[in-house]
Every structure is written in structure tokens, then in C-alpha cells.
Amino acid sequence: MMHENEGRLLAYLDGALGAAERAAVDRHLAECRACADTLESLRAASARFSSAMAVLDIPAPVDAAAAEFARRRREAPSGTAQRALLRAAILILGFAAVGSAALPDSPVRRWIGSAWRGDDRPAGGPEILADSPGSPEDEPAGISILPEGGRARVLVRGMAAEARMRVVLTDGDRVAVRATGKAADARFFTAAGRIEVRGGGPGELVVEIPRTVSNAVVEVDGRPFLVKEGDSFRALVPAEQSGTEAIFATLDPKP
């Protein structure tokens, strides 16, 4: 008696045979113990493989991936050159602020240190955005989300060249981004653990990060710009030629 080969038996097991072939294998299996055993051993090997693969699996990040896919779909058509210029502008602005934060006795450094210690509004430092809005045209647009698992990311993309950005430490439990002036036209998008800001005209963006967030990242156009890890800030700023260099600024511990 000719035995069935394993490939055909596996195709039988997988339902990949046509009706006539399947009937032929059925007839053979009814008479051939060896092939029936082979079929069972293939079934076991198949189950073992499936169960081994399941060990590797993690949940797919469907919602976050769908949001990212939607973003890439929207951005696909054009605007690359313009965005590149805007990116350069915002990186230079950001560099000035964060770079000065790393210098001893700089106003920005004093401001960050004071904010870390919990002062409401350090003298000479940048103004912390008030909760109550001023005149309608100055009314801040904003959006906030809870930091997730001690982590938060704030993303800024394609801001106008005239826009300014500030990073503020707070005692709250929410990461918030507020925009004033024409920056209030910016569009805000949120997803688990992140806020994204895009568009907008001249004005100011204020990023509020609670001190309780152990890990926070502010990204500008996809590049890390400022990282908060525990009690320290790390600013990643453009080097003179290319790439990035890191400036470390450890903040005063909370009293």
C-alpha cells in the first residue's frame, strides 16, 4: 500500500484539499494505521507550534496605531519643504530657551529650579500661565491628559516660526498644553499618554508637566527636545554641525 506523504496529510488537516482529494485521503486513512498516526502527530506538532507562538504574543496597540496611521494619511500629500523650515525655526527657539536653562545663574535655570521647589512664581522668571483667561482674544486654547503610568509625551509639530514654547513644572497631576495668541489656532490631538500639537500661528505654547511624572518627553517634529527623568532634565539640542548633543540640568530636590 502506498502511504500518503506528510505534505498531503497536512493539507488535509488544514482543509486545503479539494473535495475529490479529501475523499481519497479519507478512504486511505480508514485503512492505513500508519498514515492515521502520522496525521495525529502532525496535528500535535501543529498544536505545539501554535501554543509556542502564543507565548510570544502581546496585545496589538490597535487604537494608537490607527491614530498614527490616520495622521500619516493626512500628511501624505505635501508640505514637506514648508514643514522643514518651520521645524528649523522651532528648534532654534527651543534651543535658546533650553540652552540657557543649563547655564548657572541663568534666569531660565533659576525659574526651573524655583518651580521645582514649588514656588508659585519665581521673581524674574517666565510667567506661569494663569488658569483664568484674560480678554477673549488672549484666551488660551488648551487640552490636557493624565500622565499614564508616570510617563508623558508632548509632541509639537509644524508650529509657525514666530511661535514660542515654554515648559512649566506644576504640582498638578495632569500634563497640559496651552496656547495663546494665534498659536491658539493650533490643533490638539490626544492619545494614551500623549498630547500632540500641530499648526497654529504666532503666539505661545506652554507645556505644563507635573513634578510627579517620573518620565516625560517633549518632542519637536519627531525629535526629542527635552526629557524629564526623575529629578533631572535632559535637553537634547542641535549641535553646530549635525546630530544632537545633550545638556544635563539636575534640578533642586523637592523640599
Lay out the site mask for other proteins across 125-144 (x = CB under 8 A, - = otherwise). Answer: --------------------
Q: Confirm or reject binding of residue 2 to other proteins (CB under 8 A).
A: no
Q: Confirm or reject binding of residue 192 to other proteins (CB under 8 A).
A: yes
Nearer to other proteins, 226 or 251 (CB): 226
Q: Confirm or reject binding of residue 242 to other proteins (CB under 8 A).
A: no
Pairing of strands 215-220, 223-229: antiparallel
Options 22-30, 57-65, 91-99, 171-179: segment touching other proteins (CB under 8 A):
57-65
DSSP 48: H
Lay out the site mask for other proteins across 62-101 (x = CB under 8 A, - = otherwise). Answer: x-xxx-xxxxxx--x-------------------------
Across the beta sheet with 203-210, the strand order is 141-145, 175-181, 203-210, 164-170
Cα distance between residue 122 and residue 53, in whole Å: 56
Residue whose grid cell is 509657525: 160
Pair 125, 110: CB distance under 8 Å: yes
> Rg for the chain (alpha carbons), in Å?
29
Residues that bind other proteins (CB under 8 A): 5-11, 14, 16, 42, 45-46, 48-50, 52-53, 55-62, 64-66, 68-73, 76, 149, 153, 155, 191-194, 196, 217, 219, 222
